[in-house]
A and B are shown apart, each in its own frame.
Chain A
């Protein structure tokens, strides 16, 4: 394996043209997979030196643009009131452990697309855009179209996730991320990201191979539990070492109810 640490995106695009080259962001998933022998890339292209991938900026339309190399700890430290960015910040606070949050990045998490990861769920609920760039230009993909399957995304060869763009969400809406895991910091058995005002928009994660998006859900307890039961009945939850499909179906309605109840505490009419 060879290792390159280009200083610019243009150099990174060139380095990624090699056979079986992969981006190295924070390394908190990729290096673990290398240590376990699950992947052995021919080339790693470290994104650590590329300034263009850093920084968090408020866009003119009120969206927050979060550079791909922004760490979970940096997102967790955001003090924002708009529901979309607030959802991301809350989510970042429960990703893994302090040492992982110090170096793991939002771009890395998005590109890795672990079905049990936290960010993809929140990004789908927030109607975020994933910005990806290559030598041939930049495109923005809706988060709900970006996650395609188990560790599968819309990224093409030699494309780099450069940022995520998080819209503010409806005025006065609140946000919450509810995660069920056996131990704090573990991956989710199931999780629900919610943006809620008069109605709720939800991302459901950990539950299936990709995040599921629901919108226009009524916010009474009955309506939320019913939406959860309907989704449980119509979906194919994962059946794996973390939990059975039956267990996931069972916990989903209550997770949805809790996420929206918590989100509404932060909402203003």
Chain B
């Protein structure tokens, strides 16, 4: 298998990056090793765990199942693009305030997933929240607090 690298342009968190990577490189590979954006985590590397979740044109995507070469014009948002330099986003604040973070490895994926949910439904109910989070695994099994954090946010509790 040839390891020839190919050039592509990625728009990540509003900035354009010229990247040089093998055609088989995943978006996750390029984010972490090419661009130094290590917030997206590599858990299972085959789409099951959700730790690598990013937004592509505002839709949830597994960055481990997305080839960097195939991203094209789609805009990538990673966990690094969710908050300002000095402040957390509402989702991040809710998770912190509910104690919904244990080891933290899965947290970026949960933040991205909840960010997408709240962007299209500001007041999701418990079942909607649980369904939305069904593709994110927390190996600390801290799901109860994560769902509670989302319920607080949905109920307007800041």
Contact = CB atoms under 8 A, between A and B. Distances in A.
A, B: real partners:
yes
Contacts of A69: none
Nearest to B57: A102
B66 to A, nearest CB: 6
A1 B64 CA distance: 18
Contacts of B135: 96-100, 185
B26 A35 contact: yes
A44 to B, nearest CB: 7
A44 B62 contact: no
A99 B67 contact: no
Interface residues of A, number: 28
A35 B1 CA distance: 14
Contacts, number: 95
A99 B2 contact: no
Specify the main secondary structure of chain B where it touches its partner.
Answer: mixed
A77 to B, nearest CB: 12
Interface centre among B26, B56, B60, B136 (most CB of A within 10 A): B60
Contacts of A42: 1-2
Interface in B46-68: 46-47, 50, 53, 56, 59-62, 64-67
Interface in B21-59: 22-24, 26, 45-47, 50, 53, 56, 59
Interface in A19-47: 24, 27-28, 31-32, 34-36, 40, 42, 44, 46
A92 to B, nearest CB: 14
Nearest to B28: A35
Nearest to A24: B70
A2 interface: yes
A103 B66 contact: yes
Interface of B: 1-2, 4, 6, 22-24, 26, 45-47, 50, 53, 56, 59-62, 64-67, 69-70, 72, 113, 116, 131-132, 134-136
Given A3-B67, A31-B26, A99-B62, 19 more contacts: A2-B6, A2-B23, A3-B6, A24-B70, A31-B64, A32-B46, A32-B47, A35-B26, A36-B46, A42-B2, A44-B23, A44-B67, A48-B70, A98-B113, A98-B116, A99-B135, A100-B47, A100-B65, A184-B131
